[in-house]
Amino acid sequence: MSTTAASLKALHHLYLRLHDVNQKLEQGPKRIKLKEQFALVQDDKLKAVQDQVIQLKKQVHQKNLDLQTNEAKILSLKGKLNTASSNKEFDIIKSQIEADQMANSVLEDEILELMDKIDATETEVQEWVKKKDTAHADAQKMEKDFEAMRDSLDEEIKECNAAISEAEQIIPESIKVQFERLVRSHGAGALAYVAGKFCSACNVMIEPQLRVELNSGRLVFCKSCGRLLYIEETSE
């Protein structure tokens, strides 16, 4: 590998490293936000299950009231049995008592079924509490970890920029504006290596004359995508 190619390769790797660090800085808050949003979803799901428990308990309460009302009605009707003025009236009252007792039996079964649902739903509530707590803890940990590494990432960016400024001295003034425009447009993709006979950025074949110029250490831009090219030792 020529000195020029080695210098360009080093510059390319510095830009790639800078890109990776910037990505970490950029993606950190986004990942934290996703974690926080996930935690809020767990909050909503927990509240939904808790609301189910509340509604089930309200149903049990209402059915218990209905049960008590029917019990009072049955007691009243039993008292009227002794004062029935005829067998027909006696039979009517007795039928009402039996109907209310049947209704109470149904109510008791429904209450028991609702109590089972409450037990199961309260167990589900505890599971969602754990999921919610875990989700919030994960979000807090991610934020804490990111804050802990932010300073080191900022320092690494400074180091990369300083190293890039030094490495870019290989770029002559005659093409510096063109190269800076490439960097603004493509970042680390401003440079590309020649893989075999092809530009690694656009996969277009490099003309033989350009390869001769590359081998001689001249700075060459890909005629297809405009990237600044260098030849990898393994691709020669």
Q: What is the pLDDT of residues 51-105, one digit of tens each?
A: 999 999 999 999 999 999 999 999 999 989 888 889 999 999 999 999 999 999 9
Q: What is the pLDDT of residues 196-225, one digit of tens each?
A: 889 999 999 999 999 899 988 899 999 999
Provide the CATH number for the domain around residue 140: 1.10.287.1490
Q: Would you state the torsion angle of the CA atoms of residues 101, 106, 108, 110, taken in this order, to the nearest 10 degrees?
A: -160
Does 123 map to a domain?
Answer: yes
**Total number of domains constituting the chain:** 2
Q: What is the pLDDT of residues 24-53, one digit of tens each?
A: 999 999 999 999 999 999 999 999 999 999
The rounded distance, in Å, linking the Cα atoms of 152 and 161 is: 14
Question: Do 162 and 199 belong to one domain?
Answer: no
Does 11 map to a domain?
Answer: no
Question: Do 135 and 193 belong to one domain?
Answer: no
217 φ, ψ (degrees, to nearest 5): 90, 10
Give the end of a domain, one of 169, 199, 217: 169
Question: Do 68 and 98 belong to one domain?
Answer: yes
Does 129 map to a domain?
Answer: yes
Question: Do 162 and 177 belong to one domain?
Answer: no
Tell me what the mean pLDDT of segment 138-156 comes to.
Answer: 95
Domain that holds residue 132: 23-169
Question: Do 190 and 127 belong to one domain?
Answer: no
